[in-house]
Structures are given as structure tokens and as C-alpha cells.
Structure 1
């Protein structure tokens, strides 16, 4: 693969995928779902994390799907897998055993401490929208060594107060999650389609660390339901390269295989 830095036109979603892939540099094990996180993981395997092992909630470890999976129950996830086991064994032996280095999660709502809601919008007993619920997200978040969150930056999603706490992040901030016995280090990165955030402060509060090309601070602030914390050094994220965009649009998104690894 060349080191070309020529920039193509790209969408915000493609930028988000590329940033997520770069964040996986050197990672060995990642718990991942379908959709954008799955594409990001496969981009990482071709670029910054060639030894990355993909783990799926359905019981597949080390998957090399022949195409983009439609769900976590898609039979294509078995392709080239190191191990296929029950969900109970995957969660009990791999996840709770501390063998998952990084997890990629998303949600319908997130607050300043990285807590997630995937249960309801509105009142729990009479919600505006009833969402799929936790699935394995809560267990993944509290047992994976660290968590990366990937979501589109929208004010309806970045809220001061969650309608329901489905998955704990840094809970009330500071050391409150550890005081509850949560083993995970919690959310480390918040990857969006406009900017990148981390939680590297004593309060474990989401803070803006990098703007994507062409995005202003005002563009970010207007989409967040609380006063945005900005890191002392605010950088600009490098745009995708032609190689990264080609991976996202080509053999990964289209389901074509290349080489001996067989990723979608």
C-alpha cells in the first residue's frame, strides 16, 4: 500500500470511519458490531492494526467476514474465524476474562461522561421511541479494557441528561465508575462525524481535542447539549488519504475480497 496523501472528496461518515480505524493502531482484540464500526475495524486491519482480531457478540472470535455482515447473526461472520462459541462462553470466558482490549460502542444518547442510552427516548413507561435496549453493550462496556464510542454529532444525541442510563461510561465522572467496581477504564475516545473527543481530565468529562477539516468550533458547540469542554491544545485531524477512502468505498463496503485475509 502506498503512502499517498492525496485527498479525495469524502463524506462525514467516511471521515468518521477513517478516524475510528486510525484509533485502533496496534490494537489486538476489538469487540465490534455491524455497520460503520465494522468497516472501521476492517480498514484498521489493512492499515494500522494488521493483527486485529474481530469479536462479535454472537460468539465469533477472530472473524474475517467474506462480506459486510447484515447483523451479528449473519453466517458470514464465521468465515475464517479463530473460534466460534456460544454467547455465554464468549461473554464469560473472553469478555469477563479480560481478554477484550477495546470495544466500539454507539447509542441514541450520550452525556458528558460517556454514559449511553439505547433503551428509550422520553419517559420509560410512555416513551416517544422505544429503542432496542442494551443487548450486550452494558456488559461489554464494563468489562472491556477500554471503550471507543462512535456516533454522529447531533444535539438530540449529545444531551445534558439521558432519558435512560443503559450503559455506564464514567458514570458521575471522576472515579465514580471504579468506586462501583467497574473493571473497564471506560470511554477513552468519542469519535463523531465532525470532531474527536477524549476524556483525559480528572473529571473524566468529554473534551474536544480535534476538529475535522472544514469544521469550526461553532459547528461542534451548536450540536452539544452542555457547555463544551475544549482541551488546552486543539488540533485539526488529518484528512483521509486516497488509500483510506479506497478501502472504505471499495473492497470493504462492496464485499470484495483481496489478498489472503478475506475481510469484507
Structure 2
């Protein structure tokens, strides 16, 4: 069955989730991946959105954290201060899904500005809750399309902490959670080296070459000793994902 690079990325991210996970979900690709997992192999996964909705089971993908679909399908909705202080900072969320405008080889993320902070080329939406998610969730999964403009050697601004400057720098800052443990792109899957914390390629998507990955990365990308080929999406995974996207398009039209 034919599939797109975005579908491959979404499926690969969804497969990393399990029934036991409690996920802090970002809008966009993270939301698609988490809900695909819920609708396939992880029906009991707990999805939490920043607006305070807990155990939400949307029939369509939300346009924003304020989308009524989230509150209407949640087990409960709590105040945002309770969400952050009790649930997130209380260590009750196992996985945070994040994306951003830029990422470096240690999984640090920029969602603030492109260029000089005082005179930027682009002013981005900012961190929102991402800096707290990055430091308080048990571990972080990152989903981003790969290219030299987004996978950069040096961030314009460090919005959300990954592994800092590598090695033990995250722990030296007093952050005890695991941090970024996976990056899923439209080309490959990356994991951090146990010692240096630099992300390296561990799985390459079908039809993608090492040269493609090197050309789409702004630093000298490292490859693990044992590289796997990512399993292609199954017909069942694609059927569920496409049905979810179709329902979303029907509900939201051009805004989807």
C-alpha cells in the first residue's frame, strides 16, 4: 500500500506508545500520533492536553488546545494551574510529545525566534507550556519534519531544554527527568547516545538513504552501529489514520 512521508512519520511515532502511558499531547503531528496509538494498539492510553483535559478521546483532531472536542470527550477537565502543578510538575505524566521550529543534536528546541532575539527574521509563537513539559515529563518524544532549516547546528534561541550541551549537563542543571529519548522525522528515527546524549540515527524509513539524511541535517549526523529499516505502515494503521484525517477535514474544513 502506498503511503506518504508524513503518514510514515506519524505511524512510527504512534508505535512508540503503549497502553500504560500518560501523554502530554501537543497539537499537530503529536496529536495525530497519540490518537492513532489510541485507536489502534493502545486503547487505554491516557491523553492529556495543555488546556486541562484528562483522558480525552477525540473523534477528530483538535485545531488547538481550546478545541471543544477535547473537553467534550475527556474524563474530566481541570484548571490549567492544577494541570501544571499537580499533574505535570507532580511527575504524573510519563511522556511529553513536542515539536518546534528548530532542534539541535542534543534535542534542545527553539520555538521563540529565528535570527537575533532583539531583531529576529521571524518571531515565533513562543514556548507556551513546552519548557515545563520538557523538564517535567518522564521522557520526551519529538516529532518534526527534517531539513537543514529546522535541524540546525546552533539554535537561534533555546526555548525548551533537551540534553543541554550533552553528557550530564541536563542533570547538572538540576533536572532529573530523562529528557528527549526519541526524535521521529519523515526520514528516520533517532535516539540519544547513552554517554554523549547526541542524537544518532537508529532506524531509516523505507526508500530513504543515508545521503538523504545527511543532506537534511545541519550538523554532522551520527549513525548507530546497527541501523534498522523502519517497518512500513500496515494497511490497518493507514486505514485508521486516514479515517481520522478524513473526519477531521469534514469537521474543520480548510482549518484542518
2:55 alignment partner, SS class: strand
How far apart, in 1, do the equivalents of 2:219 and 2:59 lie?
42
2:101 maps to which residue? Answer: 108
Question: 2-side partners of 1:163 and 1:43: how far apart?
Answer: 33
List alignment gaps of at least 5 residues for structure 2: 249-256
Match of 1:69 among 48, 55, 62: 62
Aligned residue among 237, 247, 256 for 1:255: 247
Report the equivalent of 1:149. 142
Secondary structure of the 2:42 match is coil
- Report the more deviating stretch, 33-42 or 240-249: 33-42
Structure 1 gap ranges (5+)? 1-7, 257-264
* Bigger share in helix: 2
Does structure 1 residue 78 correspond to structure 2 residue 71?
Answer: yes
Q: CA RMSD in A?
A: 1.1
The number of equivalent residue pairs is 248
Q: CA–CA distance in 1 between the matches of 2:128 and 2:241?
A: 27
- 1:44 has 2:37 as partner: yes
Q: Distance in 2 between matches of 1:98 and 1:166?
A: 21
What secondary structure sits across from 1:76 in the alignment? Answer: helix
Off by >4 Å, runs of 4+ in structure 1: none
Give 1:226 deviation, angstroms: 1.0
In structure 2, the partner of 1:4 is none
Flag the structure with more relative contact order, 1 or 2, with Cα contacts below 8 A and sequence separation at least 6.
1
Q: Is the 8 A contact 1:55 1:61 kept in 2?
A: yes
Partners of 1:27 and 1:219 in 2: CA distance? 35
Rounded Cα–Cα distance in structure 2 between residues aligned with 1:183 and 1:78:
32
